[in-house]
Structure 1
Amino acid sequence: METTELTVVTGGERLDRYVSEHLPDLSRAAVQRLIENGNILVAGRVRKASYRVQAGETISVSIPPPESSIAQPETIPLDIIHEDENVIVVNKPAGMVVHPAAGHSGGTLVNAVLAHAPNLNVGGVERPGIVHRLDSETSGLIVVAKNDAALRDLQAQFKARRVHKTYLALVQGPIKPPRGKIDAPIGRDPKHRQRMAVVTHGTTRESVTIYRTIANLEGCTLIEAEPQTGRTHQIRVHLAFMGFPVVGDAVYGKRKNALGLTRHFLHAWKLALTLPDGRPADFTAPLPEDLRAVLEGLGFDYAAIGM
């Protein structure tokens, strides 16, 4: 059984939410199941999911091994933007984990795709068809390969950086400069191993993000961000490093400034690539209702950016 320990820095948040935010591979529902089964202890004691954690407390999370490494089909609604004989392009909702992991064997995008395409059997039994990932709280576009040839083709495009991804993010503060290139290597945070950070020593990887301001709004800035590399939490880490964390990001920013959101304001908005059959393709995922409501509350007309 894998055990991870977290030390609470800022208290006041529900136990289930705190753990799911700091262990991004676990959804909140998965954390609640672990709490019910006694796999999560606070200072050595079993607590309810609603318990408010206190600064300085140690949370021990014991994750049992998965019952099976083979993902099972589950009938879960999918918002399919495009589908052909080679790929499925899905608009993933916030809160959905991409693939099964320890402590979270169901309810994932993979489970849903297997039910939608029963003959899918590429890329391994744990992550069939998965070419890239989105964080659980991040909504938006993700492409899934339906056969081995398509998987190899898409993997080659991602490796050669021929896939162009554009995200919408709302960040705290008036971002300066209004447009720019963040070129800062990312690796594991040496103090908090469950997080990523901009680091200049040890094991790091080149990480580049280009951003542009769309609108300045009441203490926030709506931007579009284009990751040139594909590091874990890259956009969130880079923007926090600049001093402008994503609104609602409890890991790299402050949830108390979430403007009513229960997740971070990050949406995989556009995706441009060449389909395995050779056709160039551009896809767009509409902004979800929770993010639209935030922008409207700040006086911004989201239709102005073609949504």
Structure 2
Amino acid sequence: MNNNVESIDLEEELYEHFKFEVPKGQAPLRIDKYLMSLIQNATRNKIQTAASEGNIFVNDAIVKSNYKVKAFDVVRVMLTHPPYENHIIPENIPLDIVYEDDTLLLINKQPGMVVHPGHGNYTGTLVHALAYHFDNLPMNSSERPGLVHRIDKDTSGLLVIAKTDAAMSHLAKQFEAKSSEREYVALVWGNVVADEGTIEGNVARHVKDRMQMAVFADPEIGKPAVTHYKVLERFGYVTLISCQLETGRTHQIRVHLKHIGHTLFNDERYGGHLILKGTTFTKYKQFIDNCFKILPRQALHAKTLGFVHPTTGEMMRFDTELPQDFQDCIEKWRGYSKTNLTEEGE
């Protein structure tokens, strides 16, 4: 047997904290380096300690820290205590409830709120708030109460929450069948030339930066993703667009827009916090810095959500206003584009 791999009885009292499938195309890489790039706030020392204690598995076998991962390996980090995310202590966090009945509720999530607990975010999430305000919410397939879908921490906007098992099943099937309606508003770098268009491309974890997603041409890598977009307003160096999701992959809008050269404004994870379009004038740099201060997050808002009500069969559509930080940033760009672009030669 490979001396970097050791068989194990998986009936021990161990709990899965992380699970990753190594994507096609991954070059051989030490597992400690691989997990460092994948797990937020993990250090190499912590990962090596976990390996020495027999807590890292590849394809259901314990591995040492010098094991080299390869494509399609299933990597799991198993510990002797349950993940903290399974210990949901209700927290009295205010919720902006747009609509509620006996079956479901619509929440307008504020930017900065994490939807569910995970590594580094064990308190203060939407799930903790839901646990405080509602009893006996149904569990989804990931054992998270009420959640039918999710949006990123710094994305604002609408989420539907199921209050019964029947509603959870009915709504989840709509999202899976792509019959729900989801419209986002985004501010992106660059002038989007076409008035409207469709972006298609499989989405999977980035091979080098595991905190990012990426678009792959190989149909065997990742999951299919389709985003339709339409230009709402142009400001020269940035464009305000509407995005309709046909699928709902992790970071789909963020990675699809970067793929076509229009990274979300102030999206730090994908490089949108840098000046990607514009001039070298000091005045312009100061203007961008001010915009980043006004909107200290990616410029993305889940504006509209539509679905068939699980009980009544009625088609329901909900719409929200852009948050104030987003509106203020747009107004600054609107003013800048009117007064500055002509003299800059645009």
TM-score tier, shorter chain, comes to 0.7 to 0.9
Alignment check: 8 A CA contact 1:71 1:125 kept:
no
For the residues of structure 2 that align with 1:164 and 1:124, how far apart are their CA atoms? 22
Instruction: Note the alpha carbon deviations across 1:47-106, whole angstroms, 9 max, x for none.
Output: xxxxxxxxxxxxxxx9x9734613221110000011100111100011111111122211
Q: Deviations over 1:91-135 (max 9, x none)?
A: 001111111112221111111111111232433684111111101
Q: Which amino acid aligns with 1:247?
A: F
Letter in 1 for 2:262: F
1:258-297 superposed matches below 5 A: 259-260=291-292, 261-277=295-311, 278-297=313-332
Q: Any idea what the Cα deviations from partners look like across 1:35-54, whole Å, max 9, x if unmatched?
A: xxxx6699xxxxxxxxxxxx
CA–CA distance in structure 1, aligned partners of residues 126 and 201 of structure 2:
31
- Residue number in structure 2 paired with 1:5: 36
Which residue in the other structure is 2:193 paired with? Answer: 176
Q: Match for 1:110 among 127, 130, 139? A: 127
Distance 2:163 2:110 in 1: 21
Local SS of the residue matching 2:304: strand
> 1: distance between equivalents of 2:307 and 2:158?
12
Residues 184, 301 of structure 2: 8 Å contact kept: yes
Q: Secondary structure at the match of 2:270?
A: coil
Task: Say if 2:180 and 2:306, in contact at 8 Å, map to a contact too.
Answer: yes
**Equivalent in the alignment of 1:220:** 238
Q: How many angstroms apart in 1 are the aligned matches of 2:267 and 2:124?
A: 23
Distance in 2 between the 1:108 and 1:126 partners?
Answer: 15
- Say if 1:41 and 1:256 are closer, same or farther in 2 by CA, change over 3 A: farther
Query: Residues 208-263 of structure 1, C-alpha deviation per residue, up to 9 Å, x if partnerless?
Result: 10000000014110000011111110001110000011101112233134622211
% identity of equivalent residues: 38
- Secondary structure (helix, strand or coil) at the match of 2:36 reads strand
Distance in 1 between residues matched to 2:267 and 2:329, nearest whole Å: 15
Residue 229 of structure 2 is matched in structure 1 by: 211
Q: What is aligned with 2:343? A: none
Could you give the per-residue CA deviations for residues 11-40 of structure 1, whole angstroms, max 9, x where no partner exists?
A: xxxxxxxxxxx97xx7xxxxxxx7xxxx66
Q: Which residue of 2 aligns with 1:154?
A: 171
Q: Please, which runs of 5 or more residues in structure 2 have no aligned partner?
A: 1-16, 19-31, 46-76, 276-287, 336-346
The residue aligned with 1:239 is 257
Q: Is the 8 A contact 2:202 2:221 kept in 1?
A: no
Alignment gaps of 5+ in structure 1: 7-21, 27-33, 43-61, 301-307
Q: Is the 8 A contact 1:70 1:126 kept in 2?
A: no
How far did residue 151 of structure 1 move?
0.3
Letter in 2 for 1:5: M
Tell me how far apart the structure 2 counterparts of residues 158 and 170 of structure 1 sit (CA, whole Å).
25
TM-score, scaled to structure 1 = 0.76
Query: Alignment RMSD, CA only?
Result: 2.5
Q: Which residue of 1 aligns with 2:114?
A: 97
Report the AA paired with residue 101 of structure 2. D
Distance 1:106 1:175, change over 3 A: same
Aligned length: 253
Match of residue 159 from structure 2: 142
Q: Distance in 2 between matches of 1:5 and 1:68?
A: 20
TM-score, normalization by structure 2: 0.68
What is the CA deviation profile of residues 267-302 of structure 1, one whole-angstrom value per residue up to 9, with x for unaligned ones? Answer: 0000011111212111012211110110111227xx
Distance across 1 between alignment mates of 2:87 and 2:44: 29
Residues 184, 244 of structure 2: 8 Å contact kept:
yes
Q: Report the residue type matching 1:162 in the other structure.
A: S
Q: Tell me what 1:191 maps to.
A: 208
Contact 1:161 1:229 survives alignment (8 Å): yes
